[in-house]
A and B are shown apart, each in its own frame.
Chain A
Amino acid sequence: MRHRPERAAPEAAGRDYLLSVYYERTVWAVSVPLTLLGLLEREPSHGYDLKRDYDAYFGRGKPLSFGQLYATLARLDRDGKAIAGPAEPGGGPDRKRYVITDAGTADVERWLSEPAPPEPGLHSVLFTKVVLAVMLGRSAGRFLDIQRAAHLQRMHELTELKRSDNMADVLLADHGLYHLEADLRWIDHTAARLDLLTQAVRR
């Protein structure tokens, strides 16, 4: 019996997953400028308020830096997507209120009406490893078993995370679970067809 390496508690590990890998693959692929424009379409806002709302809804585990925030707002202003109002009295480094323009609203409208590109994601890595294992005469079945165990472990962690009362966490975990489930189906399907793959790949 082989022992698994020590790992973080399921909830912590699951949260790490949501806040890193998941974030990198999904949320971060979202355009920060368009997301900020969307927040501005809701209501004119100060930079601080934009950062607060961005971090709360979209920046899970990777909050927007003030540097990136103000650089992005400056570009939106330059490109005519948003207008920075005059500096307002009060404490803090920036008291400008930003307002979206018609061009900015049109960008948000267009963006929200387009489908997100379907991602091949992890499959390319799995596919490469399986094909290479077959080419090299190694046990692709063994690799698929190891991968299946890793996927199921991650799915268990995400399922535990869904006990959270935070609906955003629950929906993010669901998103991750469905992607992992799709991977697992591919793993099972491939495991059942390794003999055919071997005939096709080996010379």
Chain B
Amino acid sequence: MSAGNQPAVAGQPGVIIEARGVVKSFGQTPALRGATLSTAQGEILAVMGPSGSGKSTLLHCLAGILTPDEGEVWFAGGRLDTRSEGERSALRRDRFGFVFQSGQLVPELTAEENVALPLLWSGTRRGPALAQARQWLGRLGLDGLERRRSGELSGGQAQRVALARGLVARPDIIFADEPTGSLDSVAGEHVMNLLTDAARQEGTTVILVTHEARVAAYASRQVIVRDGTVSTLTGVAP
């Protein structure tokens, strides 16, 4: 993990994912104008910035959900952005986990079925997948709620289910986009404690997009996206 606000250095051992000069526009509207960012294995990185600054677009480019118009995205030493949609989908399924603001649970499925989804997609049989899902639900304090559907869960509980779903396949990287955005401060704090504790225990890298300083403070390093470029925060005057 990089110390303090020192960034992971591109091309050096320990860097798991990086964006190099990424440019991305939607129609005539530029979202990223040469964003460069690298993250070390096991690091918890907060990407901050005002609404519309491009931070979610950057996360989507890093995760292979979007492909850049210009620039490169590297993951585990190889190009990510030049891979086919199918290859990127497989990477997202097998190596990445996602937690979004609203949880985005499948409403027809129970909590344990939602958590088991990444394992089922990866070919794990239903029985073992549900067993692992229940283990993660218990680890996140959701014992007894395994059979509930999302409509029967509080916002905080639903977000913890989403967190369990993001972690169950033991991904290399968790991409969390405003994971506490729909929660009150106590529930949000609970989710962030669980996310960072689990990530530390598993050695998982976390890339956390947030506009809230209290959430970003869980990260060991923070960067700010402004007008489509990334600024690394430094604490020392020139």
Residue of A nearest to B231 (CB): A145
B233 and A158 form a contact (CB under 8 A): no
Residues of chain B with a CB closer than 8 A to A148's CB? 224, 233
Residues of chain A with a CB closer than 8 A to B233's CB? 145, 148-149, 152
Contact status of A146 and B213, CB under 8 A, knowing A4-B5, A156-B219, A156-B220:
no
Contact status of A153 and B235, CB under 8 A, knowing A1-B7, A3-B6:
yes
User: Count the B residues whose beta carbon is within 8 Å of the partner chain — how many?
Assistant: 23
Chain B proximity of A104: nearest CB distance (Å): 37
How many Å lie between the Cα of A184 and that of B220 in the bound state?
18
Residue of B nearest to A156 (CB): B217
For residue A155, CB closer than 8 A to chain B, the reply is yes
User: Count the A residues whose beta carbon is within 8 Å of the partner chain — how many?
Assistant: 27
A4 and B235 form a contact (CB under 8 A): yes
Q: List residues 46-72 of chain B with CB under 8 A from any CB of chain A.
A: 50
Residues of chain A with a CB closer than 8 A to B232's CB? 1
Total A-B Cβ pairs within 8 A: 65
Chain B proximity of A72: nearest CB distance (Å): 38
Contact status of A4 and B4, CB under 8 A, knowing A156-B219, A181-B213:
yes
Q: List residues 219-238 of chain B with CB under 8 A from any CB of chain A.
A: 219-220, 222, 224, 231-238
Residues of chain B with a CB closer than 8 A to A149's CB? 5, 222, 233-235
B214 and A177 form a contact (CB under 8 A): yes
How many Å lie between the Cα of A143 and that of B235 in the bound state?
10
For residue B216, CB closer than 8 A to chain A, the reply is yes
Residues of chain B with a CB closer than 8 A to A163's CB? 193
B214 and A2 form a contact (CB under 8 A): no
For residue A106, CB closer than 8 A to chain B, the reply is no
Residues of chain A with a CB closer than 8 A to B75's CB? none
Residues of chain B with a CB closer than 8 A to A3's CB? 6, 236
Chain B proximity of A13: nearest CB distance (Å): 11
Residues of chain A with a CB closer than 8 A to B7's CB? 1
B4 and A159 form a contact (CB under 8 A): no
9 A-B residue pairings within 8 Å (CB atoms): A1-B232, A1-B234, A4-B6, A4-B236, A142-B237, A146-B235, A148-B224, A148-B233, A149-B234
Query: Which 5 residue pairs spanning A and B have beta carbons closest together?
Result: A155-B217, A149-B233, A149-B235, A159-B217, A184-B213
Further 6 A-B residue pairs, CB within 8 A, beyond A146-B236, A150-B235, A159-B214: A142-B238, A145-B234, A146-B235, A149-B234, A156-B220, A159-B218
